[in-house]
Each structure stands twice: as C-alpha cells, then as structure tokens.
C-alpha cells in the first residue's frame, strides 16, 4: 500500500519529448490522484514554472535543447528545489556520475514503467541520497573503476585524438611538447592493452571513458 502523501503534491517533469512527457504525467496522476505533474518542454519554461510554483520534486530528461544537463541542473537547484531525479532514454555513467557529484538524487531510464518511476520518486522525496537500479549502479561502479585507468590529462588527450586532432595539434592546444603527448599515448596503449590509436579509442569508448557530457 502506498504511504500517505501530502495533499496537492506537485512535481515538475522537464522533457522536450511532448508525447512521452504528457503520457507519463497522466499515468502518474492516475496512479496517485493527489499528485499534479506539470510538464515543461524547454529549459526556459521549466525555470518559469519553478519561479512561480513550489514543487516537491523535479524529474529531468538529460537532453533538453540548447542547454547542457549540468548547467540546467545547477540552474534548477538555484531556484531552491533540492529533490531532482533524471529520467532519460539511456543510462550514461559519465553524466550520472557528474550529476551525482553535484547532488542529483536519482537516475532511471524511460524503459521503466510509471510505477517504478513513482517508487523511485517516493524514495527520493523521503530523503534517500541516491536511487538507482542495481544494474545501473553496477554500470556506474564499473565506470568509476575504469576511469582510474587513465589520468584526466590522458582522457583529455584521447578526446582530442578522437576528434581528429594530430599529435602536433594536441600538443599546441595543451601547451605541451609533442614528445610528452607521445609518451602519454604510449602509456595509454599499455594501460588499455592496445597497440594503436584506433584500438585505444575503441577500447576507451567501450569503457565509457569518452562519453560526451
């Protein structure tokens, strides 16, 4: 049986996929008649709602046009809301870790049914500091462990190489010598057990080391 919820509880769902957002809003309200779920399809509209209405929870998609997820998250927190969870299309360990370090309380994917999303949200509103499925938690822990393979400098170098930059261009951008870049690259080959740059980039992608923020 559901625990007793505050009357006229209000949540804000921020998602530019209108059909999904509207459908989830309706189903959540059916599952809990005392709940009102407003929908904002843009960052500007979301901030406007947050300035005008007091919400107990914000459910945030990671991909809102013209706004980086971390920036939007911090902007939301600045409005005074402190209960925020992500509901996005896929689990992205790098973004999950970055947002969790900023204070995000939970992460669930859109493949979950509305009852699971409601359950996650309840756990967050009751004060749990981090709510995630066991599978996604394992992926997050694996990602955290794999990040220790490479230094932040090496990951940055690899990101530049992935974008097509030459050794000379990477050295110039990072204000390092070409020999220093080559040394880092050789170290990365050893750490990732590969023999060339293509294999290094492929391996790093599999480990989610190059996932875009």
* CATH value at residue 171: 1.10.10.10
Nearest to 157 by CA among 183, 185, 199: 185
pLDDT band at 7 (very low <50, low <70, confident <90, very high): low
- 46 or 7, higher pLDDT: 46
Rounded distance between C-alpha atoms, residue 114 and residue 116, angstroms: 5
CB 130 within 8 A of CB 105: yes
What pLDDT is attached to residue 213?
39
- Where residue 77 sits, what CATH number does that domain have? 3.40.50.2300
Order of strands, edge to edge, in the sheet holding 131-132? 35-40, 9-14, 57-60, 84-88, 106-109, 131-132
Where does a domain end: 118, 144, 170? 144
pLDDT band at 211 (very low <50, low <70, confident <90, very high): low
pLDDT digits (tens, 9 = 90+) for 97-133: 889 999 999 999 999 999 999 999 999 999 999 999 9
Average pLDDT for residues 131-146, to the nearest whole number? 88
For the cut 70, the answer to whether the pLDDT of residue 3 exceeds it is no
Arithmetic mean of pLDDT over the chain: 90
Residue finishing a domain among 144, 163, 198: 144
Please give the C-alpha separations between residue 212 and each of 16, 43, 74, 125, 207, in angstroms, as whole numbers: 20, 20, 18, 29, 13
Q: Does 73 lie in the same domain as 89?
A: yes
pLDDT at 69 over 80: yes
What is the predicted pLDDT for the residue at 212?
A: 45
DSSP state, residue 64: B
Q: What is the pLDDT of residues 42-65, one digit of tens each?
A: 999 999 999 999 999 999 999 998
Phi, psi of 122 (to 5 degrees): -60, -40
Condensed to tens digits (0 to 9), the pLDDT of residues 75-102 reads 999 999 999 999 999 998 888 988 999 9
Residues 31 and 81 in one domain: yes
Looking at the structure, do residues 20 and 62 belong to the same domain, yes or no? yes
What is the widest separation between alpha-carbon atoms in the chain? 65
Residue 179, class by beta-carbon neighbours within 10 Å (0-12 exposed, 13-18 middle, 19+ buried)? exposed
Q: Do 43 and 14 touch, CB atoms closer than 8 A? A: yes
What are the tokens at 122?
């309840």
Find residue 38's DSSP bridge partners. Answer: 12
Q: 78: which 2 tokens?
A: 């600045």
What pLDDT band is residue 68 in, cutting at 50, 70 and 90? confident
Name the CA radius of gyration of the chain, rounded.
Answer: 21
pLDDT digits (tens, 9 = 90+) for 161-180: 999 999 999 999 999 999 99
**Residue 86, SS3 per DSSP:** strand
Give residue 206's pLDDT. 83
Helix (H) or strand (E) holding 6: none
**Tokens standing for residue 142:** 């694996």
**Contact predicate 47/71, CB 8 Å:** no
Q: What is the pLDDT of residue 112?
A: 95
1 is a domain residue: no
Mean pLDDT for 126-144 is 91
Residue 57 is part of which domain span?
Answer: 9-144
């Amino acid at each position: 049986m559901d625990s007793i919820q505050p009357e006229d509880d209000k949540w804000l769902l921020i998602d530019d996929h209108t059909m999904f957002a509207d459908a989830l809003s309706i189903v959540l309200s059916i599952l809990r008649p005392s709940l009102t779920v407003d929908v904002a399809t843009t960052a500007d509209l979301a901030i406007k709602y947050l300035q005008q209405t007091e919400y107990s929870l914000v459910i945030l998609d990671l991909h809102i046009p013209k706004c980086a997820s971390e920036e939007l998250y911090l902007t939301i927190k600045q409005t005074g809301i402190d209960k925020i969870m992500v509901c996005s299309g896929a689990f992205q360990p790098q973004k999950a870790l970055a947002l969790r370090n900023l204070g995000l309380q939970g992460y669930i994917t859109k493949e979950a049914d509305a009852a699971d999303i409601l359950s996650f949200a309840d756990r967050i509103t009751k004060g749990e500091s981090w709510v995630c499925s066991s599978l996604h938690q394992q992926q997050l822990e694996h990602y955290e462990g794999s990040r220790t393979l490479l230094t932040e400098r090496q990951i940055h170098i690899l990101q530049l190489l992935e974008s097509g930059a030459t050794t000379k261009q990477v050295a110039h951008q990072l204000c390092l010598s070409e020999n220093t870049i080559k040394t880092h690259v050789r170290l990365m080959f050893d750490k990732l057990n590969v023999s060339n740059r293509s294999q290094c980039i492929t391996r790093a992608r599999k480990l989610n080391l190059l996932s875009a923020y």
